[in-house]
Amino acid sequence: MANKYVNLKVGSFKIPVVWLISFNGILCIILSPIFGSMWVKLAHMKMDPPVTLKMAVGMIITGAAFFIILGGYYSLNGVLDESVKMSLWIMLLAYTILTIGELLVSPVGMALFSKLTPERFSSLGMSGWYLCYFFSGLASGALVSVTGTWGYGKILWILGGSLVIAGLVMLALKPFLEKLIAMDQLGKESEAVE
């Protein structure tokens, strides 16, 4: 999509698409220590938000990033012959928001998955976490294969909407999920005492 529908020219220089795709990785490197230190400071102040809240907000933020790209796509006014292109700033903003959402979901989710998996199954549990990446890769491939039929607009609606809905469902289930997490902690503490 970026190669066809995003204006990658800055002056007379055309930014390679690979650079745009690398922007997410660069932002992860820049923002990860900031988020890490923020969580540590909030924990010391006893203001660290629950994991369920971080993940729910992360999913909603990630969904919002897809809606920003959708807005850029709609700015083309249906002209898909590559004569009209969306602003590079739309994609950079979307990637920034996507990265923030990713940093709220991925490392927090991995830590939670590791924490909730029984110790004797820890390696199996982490394998399960990475298996999720495998299935998301399959889903991504399936979406790419129907993009020609459905169009980018529909795909972006599905991705953004699914993430926002999943985040809202997680927010609604937050009290229940926090009880489950607390019960698991109590179970592990009682096992340690025995």
Whether the Cβ atoms of residue 162 and residue 63 lie closer than 8 Å to each other: yes
pLDDT score at 169? 97
CA atoms of 80 and 144, how far apart (whole Å): 17
CA atoms of 30 and 192, how far apart (whole Å): 38
Q: What is the mean pLDDT of the chain?
A: 88
Alpha carbon distances (Å) from 122 to 118, 129, 178? 6, 11, 21
pLDDT score at 113? 79
147, 154, 166, 189: which is closest to 61 by C-alpha?
166
Q: What is the pTM of this model?
A: 0.86
- The tens digit of pLDDT for each residue in 6-46 reads 999 988 999 998 988 899 999 999 999 999 999 999 999 99
Higher pLDDT, 166 or 129: 166
- The tens digit of pLDDT for each residue in 142-159 reads 888 888 888 889 999 999
Task: Sketch the domain layout of the chain as residue ranges.
Answer: 2-193
Helix ranges restricted to H, 78-118: 88-116
Q: Is 115 exposed, middle or buried (0-12, 13-18, 19+ CB in 10 A)?
A: middle
Architecture of domain 2-193: Up-down Bundle (1.20)
The SS3 assignment for 49 reads: coil
Residues with Cβ within 8 Å of 165's Cβ and at least 6 positions away in sequence, in order, are 63
Does the structure show a pLDDT above 80 at 80? no
Backbone angles phi, psi at 109, to 5 degrees: -65, -40
